[in-house]
Each structure stands twice: as C-alpha cells, then as structure tokens.
C-alpha cells in the first residue's frame, strides 16, 4: 500500500519548522503540513522569496504560516533564528532540516567553512542542537534531516573537510550528504542514551525536480553535465513526490528513530516512501562520533545555545 499526503495524520496544535521552505521540497513540505493543520515556520535565507512562497500558499487557502529569517551559511544567523523561535513559540514539535546547496564553485561560509558542508551539515546541526530544548517533552517530537543518494558516494575528508586542496564540487556535496545521515543517526543514538524522547530520522527525495539541479548546472558551466541532466529528465519526479519521504518520516505512526526513508522504485530514484539502506560509513558509530567532534571543533562554540 502506497503512502501519500492523505495519510498524514492531523497536525493541529503542532508547530513545524521547515528550512528552505520557499521552493522545491521545502515548499511542498510546508504546503502539506499546513494543509493538515500545523503551524509552519518557513525558515528561509531570502525574505523576498519567502514572502512570495507564503503568499502563494495563503492564496491557496492555507493558514498558520510564519516566516523566519535564517542563513545557514552563518552560524550567528542560526543562533538568532533559534532564539526567535523560542521567543515566538516557546516550543517546537517537528524540525525539517531540508534546505541545501548542491555543487557550486568553491565558496566559504561566514565562518570560513566550505559552503556545502557549512550549509547542509554544520548549519543544520547547529540549528537542531539549539532547538532541541524547545522540543523536549513534546509529544512525538521528531527531527528529520534530508540527505540524498549522494551519501553512498561520500566520504569525510577528515584532514581537509573544507576542501582547501583539490576541490571537487560533487565530492564536497557527497561529503555533506553523508554528514547529514551520520548526524541524524548519531543524534538518535544520543537521544536514546539520554532518554531525551526526541526521534531523529533521515530521508532522501530520490530524483526530484527542484531548483538544485538547474542551479548546479548553471554554476558549473559544463555542457556534458547539462546534456546528462536532460537525458535523465524523464526519471525526475515532482517536488511534491520528492517530499513524501521526509513527510512520512516526520508524521507516520510507524516511522521510528534512526530510520531512513526514500522512494521505493528504480533503486530509490522515484516512487512512494519506503525504508532504504544507509551509507555504511553512517552505520559506524566511531565515525559518527568523530564527525560530531570535528563539527564541534569547526563551529568553535557556535553549535550550542
């Protein structure tokens, strides 16, 4: 039996934060959660794009949509955003670590880290750890961290995580997506050990049509890459379908902490949500703990409140 947005239980009186909610998977997630009654905090870097997306949802008859300024490439912005959520709401039920960047030319975050590692992993890790106190004691609180199939090709460059030498934009992307899964599983393990009661899961969208692909192609300027994406176009599913695994992870009664969801067809490229395999490196507790420690060192005290 396939799982769809119609299977999302009522989210009345629940507060969900979605990073990157102005487009793609984030917008689809915000739409689905709002439709089921949740108050949705749309956390976005660009206020103009966020307002446009919110207006689009409001015109469709949805309600309970709030905007939050959040630049994951600046850990100080993350800290301010988390404080604002605390001031406005005082609690949080669901966190979708959804926003991401893919395969840009080498750029650095405000704190000097490679952009993809900084935004996709460090920014979300900092946001999560600073919001966890707001989720403690909430019924069925969950953190869903969005990764991709690139995790299977990723490896952590322990001695050069910011790719100062020999930068490869897809290698750096794969590293960040592997880091997403490692963080999700290690957070779950620590919650279990501490009795925190918050579940942590991972999800990936398969091949979903979002802004990431055209942006990556434009920034790379590689004709062969553009041709490859055109040939693959029939395999891409909609952003709404791509968002189903993270929605399932966040709301399905059967979804458990530490699980990873993705599409069920064509080797995880498209389809409806199902449990899927996890990159072997992410199953290694020693590597996960090493990444956690490295992340704390890189963030220089900006991970925690």
Per the CB < 8 A criterion, the answer to whether 278 and 181 are in contact is yes
Q: Where are the beta strands (DSSP E) in the chain?
A: 15-19, 39-44, 65-69, 94-97, 142-146, 199-203, 260-265, 270-275
Reading the block at residue 229, the tokens are 């994406």
Q: Closest Cα partner for 144 from 160, 131, 156?
A: 131
Cα–Cα nearest to 156, from 177, 129, 127:
177
Q: What tokens were used for 86?
A: 């605390």
Phi, psi of 67, deg, nearest 5: -110, 145
Which one of 89, 167, 173, 261 is the catalytic residue? 173
Q: Return contacts of 66-71, CB within 8 angstroms, 24+ apart.
A: 66/39, 66/40, 66/41, 66/42, 67/41, 67/42, 68/17, 68/41, 68/42, 68/43, 68/44, 69/43, 69/44, 69/45, 70/19, 70/43, 70/44, 70/45, 70/127, 71/45, 71/110
Active site (annotated) includes residue 167: no
User: Is 273 in contact with 1 (CB distance < 8 Å)?
Assistant: no
Q: At what angle do helices 212-220 and 223-232 cross, to 10 degrees?
A: 160
Residue 42 backbone phi and psi in degrees, to 5: -90, 100
List residues with catalytic annotation: 173
């Amino acid at each position: 039996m396939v799982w769809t947005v119609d299977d999302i239980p009522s989210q009345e009186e629940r507060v969900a934060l979605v990073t990157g909610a102005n487009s793609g998977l984030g917008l689809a997630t915000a739409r689905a959660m709002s439709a089921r009654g949740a108050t949705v905090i749309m956390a976005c870097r660009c206020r103009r794009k966020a307002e446009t997306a919110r207006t689009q949802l409001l015109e469709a008859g949805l309600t309970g949509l709030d905007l939050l300024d959040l630049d994951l490439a600046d850990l100080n912005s993350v800290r301010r955003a988390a404080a604002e959520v605390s001031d406005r709401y005082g609690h949080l039920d669901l966190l979708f670590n959804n926003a991401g960047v893919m395969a840009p030319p080498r750029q650095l975050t405000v704190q000097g880290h490679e952009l993809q590692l900084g935004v996709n992993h460090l920014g979300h890790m900092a946001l999560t750890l600073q919001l966890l106190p707001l989720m403690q004691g909430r019924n069925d609180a969950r953190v869903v961290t969005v990764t991709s199939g690139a995790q299977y090709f990723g490896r952590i460059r322990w001695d050069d995580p910011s790719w100062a030498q020999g930068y490869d934009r897809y290698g750096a992307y794969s590293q960040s997506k592997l880091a997403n899964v490692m963080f999700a599983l290690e957070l779950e393990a620590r919650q279990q050990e501490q009795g925190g009661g918050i579940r942590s899961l991972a999800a990936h969208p398969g091949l979903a049509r979002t802004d990431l692909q055209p942006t990556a192609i434009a920034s790379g300027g590689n004709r062969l890459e553009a041709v490859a994406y055109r040939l693959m176009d029939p395999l891409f599913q909609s952003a709404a379908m791509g968002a189903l695994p993270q929605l399932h992870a966040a709301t399905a009664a059967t979804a458990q902490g530490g699980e990873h969801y993705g599409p069920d067809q064509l080797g995880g490229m498209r389809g409806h949500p199902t449990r899927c395999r996890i990159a072997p490196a992410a199953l290694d507790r020693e590597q996960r703990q090493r990444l956690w420690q490295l992340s704390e060192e890189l963030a220089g005290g900006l991970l925690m409140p």
